[in-house]
Amino acid sequence: MGESTHSPRMVRFGVYEVDLRAGELRKQGSKIKLQEQPFQILALLLERPGEVVTREEIQKKLWPADTFVDFEHSLNAAVKRLREALGDSAETPRFVETIPRRGYRFIYPVERPGWASRIRQLRIVALAVVALLAVLIGLNVAGLRERLLGGAGRGQITSIAVLPLENLSGDPEQDYFVEGMHEALITELSKIGALKVISRTSAMRYKDTDKSVPEIARELGVDAVIEGSVLRAGERVRVTAQLIRASTDEHLWAENFDRDLGDILALHR
């Protein structure tokens, strides 16, 4: 049976996914612990994204008339736990906005994927992998390998972390494309036998971090990091990547790649 248009099982926003039937919140595939009441509030907000869900509606859903509870305290506590699970803030909300004396509103773009949407996402990731293979050719990987392993009297790099690539498009829909390129880059670098590459899971902890490169490198125990950005606009893609030595914060290598997606596919073939 197909998913109902009005009551989809899965809802996505940014890097989060909500399974409404299972009552689960996941971030990039990893389950996040969330109590029943905060999850029900999230489900109510996701039913009507962009609209105000009143405090009275939440009370009727979570705390019926025959339930004896300090409603104000319980509601505030539940919303606080929900925001903590989402890494959100009441002062600068990204997901849940407080409407004073009225209720709450979910303000982040929401996607309700069916089979067509899932296939589209898989195609985006596949395209990202193909694009990255072409990028690795266009970015003179031989030069990067020489920088990594050559040393040139400055200390050989034997371990590296690829930080999450920045999505410069400003469109959350492109996160799948950017994350696909990030994962493919880690996979390609892992093929260099003399190089230890930190896993994607460990690297993703530093998405949108304010920590410096030396701090990140010390925590991960690596000699260098690669950081960069991806900008996809229509049928054009631009990738910027740079290799940084952790101990000195020195840029050892950097390249830009700019090409039509159609050209990327042709180059891959």
Q: Check whether residue 98 and residue 148 sit in a common domain.
A: no
Which of 106, 138, 165 is where one domain is finished?
106
Q: Check whether residue 50 and residue 127 sit in a common domain.
A: no
Please state, in angstroms and rounded to a whole number, the distance separating the CA atoms of residues 171 and 247: 34
Each residue's pLDDT tens digit in the chain (269 positions)? 344 334 457 888 888 999 988 889 998 888 999 999 999 999 999 999 899 999 999 988 887 766 666 788 889 999 999 999 999 999 999 999 999 989 999 999 888 765 445 545 555 555 555 555 555 544 455 555 555 655 444 567 889 999 998 988 777 777 777 887 788 788 878 877 778 999 988 898 898 888 999 999 999 999 999 998 888 776 677 888 888 998 888 888 887 777 666 555 443 33
Question: 245 near 157, Cβ under 8 Å?
Answer: yes
Please state, in angstroms and rounded to a whole number, the distance separating the CA atoms of residues 119 and 71: 43
Range of the domain at 234: 115-268
Q: Check whether residue 61 and residue 150 sit in a common domain.
A: no
The total of other beta-carbon atoms located within 10 Å of residue 103's CB is 19
Total count of domains within the chain? 2
Q: Check whether residue 244 and residue 119 sit in a common domain.
A: yes
Which of 106, 137, 167 is where one domain is finished?
106
Q: Check whether residue 92 and residue 184 sit in a common domain.
A: no
Q: Check whether residue 70 and residue 134 sit in a common domain.
A: no
Q: Check whether residue 122 and residue 240 sit in a common domain.
A: yes
Per the domain annotation, does 4 fall within a domain? no
Q: Check whether residue 31 and residue 133 sit in a common domain.
A: no
CATH number at residue 210: 3.40.50.10610
CATH number at residue 15: 1.10.10.10
Q: Check whether residue 187 and residue 54 sit in a common domain.
A: no
All residues at 6 or more sequence positions from 113 whose CB lies less than 8 Å from its CB, including other chains: 8, 10, 12, 121
Q: What share of the chain is helix, strand, coil (3-state, %, to 5)?
A: 40, 25, 35
The total of other beta-carbon atoms located within 10 Å of residue 85's CB is 19
Q: Check whether residue 167 and residue 223 sit in a common domain.
A: yes
Residues in the chain: 269
Please state, in angstroms and rounded to a whole number, the distance separating the CA atoms of residues 90 and 93: 5
Residue 132, helix vs strand vs coil: helix
Q: Check whether residue 97 and residue 123 sit in a common domain.
A: no
Q: Where are the alpha helices (DSSP H) in the chain?
A: 36-47, 55-62, 71-86, 115-138, 141-150, 175-189, 200-203, 213-220, 261-268
Q: Check whether residue 171 and residue 234 sit in a common domain.
A: yes
Per the domain annotation, does 1 fall within a domain? no
